[in-house]
A and B are shown apart, each in its own frame.
Chain A
Amino acid sequence: MQNLIKTTFMIAAMAAGLAMATLPARALVEIDINKGVVEPLPVAITEFISADGKGAEIAGVIEADLRRSGLFAPIEKEAFIEKISNPDAAPRFQDWTVINAQALVTGKVSETGDGRLRAEYRLWDTYAGQQLVGEQFFSSKEKWRRIAHIIADSIYQRLTGETGYFDTRIVYVDESGPRNNRVKKLAIMDQDGANQRFLTDGRAIVLTPRFSPTRQEITYMSYEGGQPQVYLLQLETGQRELVGNFPGMTFAPRFSPNGQRIVMSLLRDDGNSNIFAMDLRSRNTTRLTTSNAIDTSPSYSPDGSQVVFTSDRGGRAQIYVMGAEGGNPQRISFGDGTYSTPVWSPRGDLIAFTKQTGGEFQIGVMRTDGSGERILSSGFLQEGPTWAPNGRVLMFFRQPAGSAGPQLFSIDLTGRHEQKIPTANFGSDPAWSPLLE
């Protein structure tokens, strides 16, 4: 029987004022990752007051973020009784409790003297009749969606006790063209699918992009030089460089938690693959595995002390854990079928994987010793989980039988809230960024 991992979070009751509240008082949202929240929390998100339509747009993005998380049930605006005209004044709480809004969001958007956007918002506990959060944010006008995501993160954090994940981006592989000659481009977008743009032109096959946990930097594999190799790309400058100077194919790269190392597979001349780590400053490489097998898909634990990876050293692909300097790998996957693409949760508690069994591909999680395996999603072909920075949501890609191409999906740890992530073309290999700075 699976252990129940249960976390209960308390919300604070603080006096009004534009101040961040941190003291626990009573639970509004209870997260049980095995069973899911029985009832998402009903919340009322009012249109932010603004001279133009920007206030409504910002409220819409906040509402969509919270709804997609599966933890919140935004109430339809038609049900609202009180029309908020002064978002700085206390609302008539009974008008909101009568429609069962447990929390209320009000706000306003204005333009500063120097042409920037100012967004102020307040989060209210309607039953306690108190303000929970009052904050204001400034940004350039074109970054209004980021403001909305930051506010959604603030609400999520205040009501669940967990860090949010809405002010983040996804790098992925955009796929177009026929299946036997796909054009693959690196692409990047906000976590909700907005602001999509390409990072490569599609002339070379690109695969498996990964975000740096610490910088606006990604590592990925490209066929551009004839020999497929791992590259590093600075997102702000567009500067690219080859990672290392290895004789054979390098692939399956991933950053260390401090962003200073890349761990990846290097193909040996005998056709087997071993795992190496490379320090990005000194360029020194460390060999972590020496098996006569396929060792690939390495991923660091968040404290940097261990590496989980895929190996077929036992005959078929399974998941192993070893120290970050290599040596003494321990197999942790023992279920029916094969296991690959292990990814350590940023919280450190779980490892997400792709499992193949019974002709299906499954996305699942297990504890770091291999116990407590839970399958979140099954299908004809799906793989490549990536964690949201708060370790509560996974994104992966799926290609149903008979379909023309893969698409991106997210699923929370309960397995109940699956969402298709909109992309312009087909999409694969998603990788979640850390929370933006």
Chain B
Amino acid sequence: MRSIAAIARNPACIALIAALAVAGCANKQVPNNAADLGLGAGGAGAPGSQQEFTVSIGDRIFFDTDSSVIRADAQGILSRQAQWLGKYSSYSITVEGHADERGTREYNLALGARRAASARDFLVARGVAANRIRTISYGKERPVATCDDLSCWTQNRRAVTVLNGGSS
């Protein structure tokens, strides 16, 4: 049986939390999908693993309010993603576009779609084949941070690169 204490003693989890903190994520942030982070797999990110991509490369970028412009800090992350995907070419990816809650539902679906397309276009420009990339918008339907102020909204305006198939 897994207890909180057991998780806290798991070096993989501690390494993951530390890496997220370095990446500038507030502690309210919840990974989109724990399985993608390799929580059950152990290890701190073997080369070519999903965990390495998520933790060491960085699976997400953030946007300014009502903007789909790739910020300078995001360009570095996407460039690293493109390099990594070039090395591990068996993966296809889904780029998820998301918006914060400070917009209306339909507009935010469109905004999330534009953010996903911006991230995809950047990856393609860095050499990732377009046919390896699928995009989807979740609008404001899947926030990772759920408070009612800027500290959460900045985390929710994001594009997340999710690895689909391949070796892990």
Contacts and interface: CB of A to CB of B under 8 A. Distances in A.
Contacts of A381: 101-102
A271 B102 contact: no
Contact of A180 (B121, B146, B148): B146
Given A180-B142, A402-B148, A251 B101 contact: no
A203 interface: no
Contact of A384 (B30, B105, B148): B105
A272 B116 CA distance: 11
B141 interface: yes
A205 interface: yes
A356 B103 contact: yes
B66 interface: yes
B137 A228 contact: yes
Contacts, number: 99
Contacts of A340: 103-104, 106-107
Given A271-B114, A294-B114, A182 B141 contact: yes
A178 B114 contact: no
Contacts of B66: 312, 316-317, 338
Nearest to A316: B66
A178 B148 CA distance: 14
B104 A251 contact: no
A251 B103 contact: no
Given A271-B113, A271-B118, A429 B105 contact: yes
A356 B99 CA distance: 15
A296 B117 contact: no
A354 interface: yes
A272 B103 contact: no
Interface string B79-90: 000000000000
A226 B139 CA distance: 15
16 contacts: A180-B143, A207-B105, A228-B109, A228-B136, A249-B109, A252-B106, A271-B118, A294-B110, A294-B111, A296-B110, A297-B106, A316-B66, A340-B104, A380-B148, A383-B105, A384-B105
Given A179-B146, A207-B105, A340-B106, 15 more contacts: A178-B146, A180-B142, A221-B109, A252-B109, A267-B113, A270-B117, A271-B115, A294-B110, A296-B109, A310-B104, A340-B107, A341-B104, A341-B105, A356-B102, A428-B105
